[in-house]
Amino acid sequence: MTTESGMPSRRLSRICQVATTHPHQRARKHMFDSNNLSTTADPHRAASAMVVVGTDGTEGANLAVRWAAETAARRGRGLLITHGLDLSAVPSALHGHGVALPSLLDEFRARGMRLVAAAQQLAHDIAPAVTITTEVSEANPAELLVRHSRTAHMVVLGVTPGVGPLRHLGSTLLAVVPHGRGAVVVVRAADPAQPPRIGGPVVVGIDGGVVGEAIIGAAFAEAADRDADLVAVHAWSDLDFAEFAGYDFLDIPDENIATAETALLTERLAGWQEKYPDLRVTREVYPSDAWTHLMEWSEKAQLVVVGSRGRGGFRSLLFDSTSNSLVEHAFCPVMVVHPD
């Protein structure tokens, strides 16, 4: 898409820097980067990778901005607050209504600037040492956030269903979560009027796929960064043919399945526990219904970590079931990890 002047719409993004890095921020950054994670091939762990949060000015978006600012401060990372105007949808939406399009587009742009300015002030109040960048783009919000997710440390969204003049984060997240890259966090809270809880464990849902290694690694890193316990949840009967870590149902006697699955989960986590020897890990193995158990854990967790790819390699299959339900109903923030 181009503007009336012929310039690419991406060039209309407004960028502004509002703070410099504080010495304590650099110290915390060093602490987080020491978590035995390779940064050479992972753009999400690069020093330049920012925490990216989308805003539309709603209460849910404000919770996301607060959460993102706190995370950026704790990790010594920059924060990008972005708002997508989706101006390409405006002409068709107003067709036949006799509205002066140029003046209306200017109003949308001005409103977008006001929204990110308010979010910037909120983030600065929460984390004054963080370097904050703001962006107002003509792009579709979902496409904008998916594009940022390719190089972001993580992408953060809030939940406010049914709000917004053209498009709101309540629907945008349903496009961003399954199609983003790296980690996408949907900030939820038991009480929408209150910030998400700070205490409690990090809870990770583990299935039997190879892609689960990225999910496990992200969960260990999150728990270590937050100085929290880690709870690993596995419901073995949801797996195709009860397959887990290469073992087939037919190779395990029925009466020993639970014991065998617990032992396999322990083995699956052993390498990560060697990397994080000070982290306390609890293993919870259930016969079925991973969603119900993860929902119950979300009532006391500060973060639930799940995957985005279903068994057999079909993208979004797992998201459409367990992850989708958690994103819509959990009582705490949900991190959906995409193995790049």
The one-digit pLDDT tens for each residue of the chain (340 residues) are 444 334 334 333 333 333 333 333 433 333 344 344 544 578 999 999 999 999 999 999 999 999 999 999 999 999 999 999 988 766 555 555 545 567 778 888 999 999 999 999 999 999 999 999 999 999 999 999 999 999 999 999 998 654 443 344 457 877 898 899 999 999 988 777 788 888 999 999 987 665 578 899 999 999 999 999 999 998 876 544 344 445 555 455 555 777 888 888 898 899 999 999 999 999 998 887 888 999 999 999 999 999 875 333 434 434 447 888 898 889 999 999 987 6
How is the beta sheet containing 132-137 ordered, strand by strand?
A: 16-17, 132-137, 79-84, 51-54, 154-158, 182-187, 334-338, 303-307, 202-205, 230-235, 281-286
At residue 210, the pLDDT reads 58
At residue 309, the pLDDT reads 58
3's CB contacts (< 8 A; 6+ apart) are 9, 12, 138
At residue 121, the pLDDT reads 98
pTM for the full model? 0.78
At residue 170, the pLDDT reads 56
Domains of the chain listed by start with CATH number: 9-187 (3.40.50.620), 202-338 (3.40.50.12370)
